[in-house]
Amino acid sequence: MNGIVAIGLAGMAAMAGLGWWRGWRGLRFALALAAGWCLGLVPALTGGDTASGLRLWAAGAVLLALVGGYTALIARLRRRAAANAETRPGVVGHRPAAASSSAPPPMSEVELDRYARHIVLRELGGPGQQRLRRARVLVVGAGALGAPVCLYLAAAGVGRITIADDDTVSLSNLQRQVLFRDADLGRPKIEAAAETMAALNPHIAVNRLGRRITEADVELVAEHDLVLDGTDSYASRAGTNRACVAARVPLVAGSIAQWEGQVTVWDPARDAPCLACLFPEAPAPGLAPSCAEAGVVGALPGVVGSVMALEAIKLIAGAGAPLRGRMLVFDGLWGETRTIALRRDPACPVCGEAVRPRSSPPPSRSPRPA
């Protein structure tokens, strides 16, 4: 009996040492199995007979080796998938600067575990997660829509996120801006947002930009693969749209009022309309009241901002059909959604043929800050 237990313990120690050295995680389960086998089942089955105990232990060891080998094989396949060269088109692949930037190091075991639910998705997989990791995204406005956008992009592992906002957290924000806590009152939104995002995912970089985005920010926009705009004034949205059109960067736009919200992807560089194709001029005063004037239900930006983050993930990874040339309208009061087809306006004052021929090259790029 003692001999069998000693052999079992020695075998377990050897496997534990191997597992620790190789960083196997499935081995914990296998070791628990082996412990039960050696300490309980083998002596009980053999009645203390050393020879038959050894045979049973050998059978257990073979089982254990199979489990360990399978675990190691799966880990190796996951690593290979993660490091695999990209084959599907996404906005990251479309951006010349991103395509020429050096490939990031392979994902660590911790990152593979963190993004495991992405990696098993056929439409994302290892290459899709690597694209998210390499992506540089500009989030305009850290308000109601910016909150779920920032949280989900950070959680999804989007490698570099720039947040542009010049506002501070006020009490009336907390009813819907779930990025902030009561203790953040009075703090700059970009500070509180960056802190929350870093706490959520330490594997990403968050750049803080304490100002608004205007049409003059073409160079800044061109340093990003994608822009998400959740601001609530036409002037701000029109400025971001102009900068994105000039830089040929897709713009995921969301808006909310009261119980209803809309999401679309403005992208004239890829034959979708821009904001000005549909809305060339600011609405008449009173026709599009802001959330402060008209009110907005707290959970609505959670829905609309999450759809924006989802569109960003799809665009970056090249998955599915993004809302290019389509607008998703969500009516929260009646629980209805509908999709409206949108067309480019050839005479658009921002992206029309007269203003910007489609064959024009993207603007030159300044080196990205480290």
Contact segment (CB under 5 A) with Zn ion among 12-20, 160-168, 206-214, 341-349 equals: 341-349
Q: Is 246 in the site for Zn ion (CB under 5 A)?
A: no
Task: Identify which of residues 243 and 277 has a Cβ nearer to Zn ion in the complex.
Answer: 277
Check if 277 is active-site.
no
Least distance (Å) between residue 138 CB and Zn ion:
19
Least distance (Å) between residue 225 CB and Zn ion:
20
Q: Of the candidates 274, 310, 319, 342, which one interacts with Zn ion according to CB under 5 A?
A: 274
Least distance (Å) between residue 271 CB and Zn ion:
11
Least distance (Å) between residue 136 CB and Zn ion:
24
Among candidate residues 38, 150, 244, 291, the one labeled active-site is 291
Task: Identify which of residues 246 and 351 has a Cβ nearer to Zn ion in the complex.
Answer: 351
Task: Identify which of residues 167 and 345 has a Cβ nearer to Zn ion in the complex.
Answer: 345
Q: Of the candidates 192, 213, 277, 296, which one interacts with Zn ion according to CB under 5 A?
A: 277
Q: Is 92 in the site for Zn ion (CB under 5 A)?
A: no
Q: Is 348 in the site for Zn ion (CB under 5 A)?
A: yes
Task: Identify which of residues 104 and 363 has a Cβ nearer to Zn ion in the complex.
Answer: 363
3-state secondary structure the chain: CHHHHHHHHHHHHHHHHHHHHHCCCCHHHHHHHHHHHHHHHHHHHHCCCHHHHHHHHHHHHHHHHHHHHHHHHHHHHHHHHHHCCCCCCCHHHHCHHHHHCCCCCCCCHHHHHHCHHHHCCCCCHHHHHHHHHHCEEEEECCCCCHHHHHHHHHHHCCCEEEEECCCECCHHHCCCCCCCCHHHCCCEHHHHHHHHHHHHCCCCEEEEECCCCCCCCHHHHHCCCEEEECCCCHHHHHHHHHHHHHHCCCEEEEEEEECEEEEEEECHHHCCCCHHHHCCCCCCCCCCCCHHHHCECCCHHHHHHHHHHHHHHHHHHCCCCCCECEEEEEECCCCEEEEEECCCCCCCCCCCCCCCCCCCCCCCCCCCCC
Footprint of Zn ion (CB under 5 A): 274, 276-277, 348, 350-351
Catalytic residues: 291
